[in-house]
Amino acid sequence: MNLQEIFTILQSGGWVMIMLAVLALILYITAFDLAYYVYSGNLGGKMTSWLAWIRDPSKAHGQVGEIIQYTQGGDADAKRIQQRFEQVRYETSSRVSHRLVLLNTLVAAAPLAGLLGTVIGMLGTFGGLAAGGSESMSLVAGGIHEALLTTQTGLMIALPGVFASLVIKRRKNTLDEAISRLESMTLIHKTGLDALLEDEEEEVAVPAPTRTAPARAPAQEPILVGDDSGMQLA
């Protein structure tokens, strides 16, 4: 399909097709930008190296490294670390949430814009029927074509946007959980509890020696001492 055919299709759908094209452009730019933002960093990756990075922030890299260096920078106590993590959580979640609202709005607007084209096409169809004459059939066919084309275009724009919104929302929840996990690990390290936790894990891993009860000495039988007056217990 060349540009001339695309232009002919847009022209046959009326001015609503231009509105749908602009809406689709904004929708997919927003979706790709959000997908790149939530999948570009290493915040949603494996947590195996996070504890080592928290202990030595100079080794940290990527998005996780930026968060660790920011939250532990300067003379940061536990309360200040919590405040900084709240800022990180707000900046990360608010940016994704605001653009998700825009994305969902565009997804909902696409079928409505197609429905608007359907109504305009049906009005043209009824106008052709009312006019009569030899040109009435061409007007009716043109109105029906415009109505169906705009409806189809609106649905084709909205369906990929629905799946993109679901994927981005799921990834956002993963990032929120990762930030909470990183905050917990940082506070445990800052309060000095990470060494205690490691000691407890080592104690659980090594089985405790079983204790055996000491063997009891065999009970001695009483010794009978006898004399002329009778037997007595010694």
pLDDT along the chain (234 residues), means of 10: 66 79 93 90 78 83 85 78 87 86 93 86 74 66 78 90 93 89 84 57 51 53 50 46
DSSP summary character for residue 210:
P
Q: Dump pLDDT digits (tens) for 108-127.
A: 999 998 888 888 878 777 77
Question: In angstroms, rounded to a whole number, what is the distance separating the alpha carbons of residues 2 and 9?
Answer: 11
What is the 3-class SS of 27-67, one letter each residue?
A: HHHHHHHHHHHHHHCCCCCCCCCHHHHHHCHHHCCHHHHHH
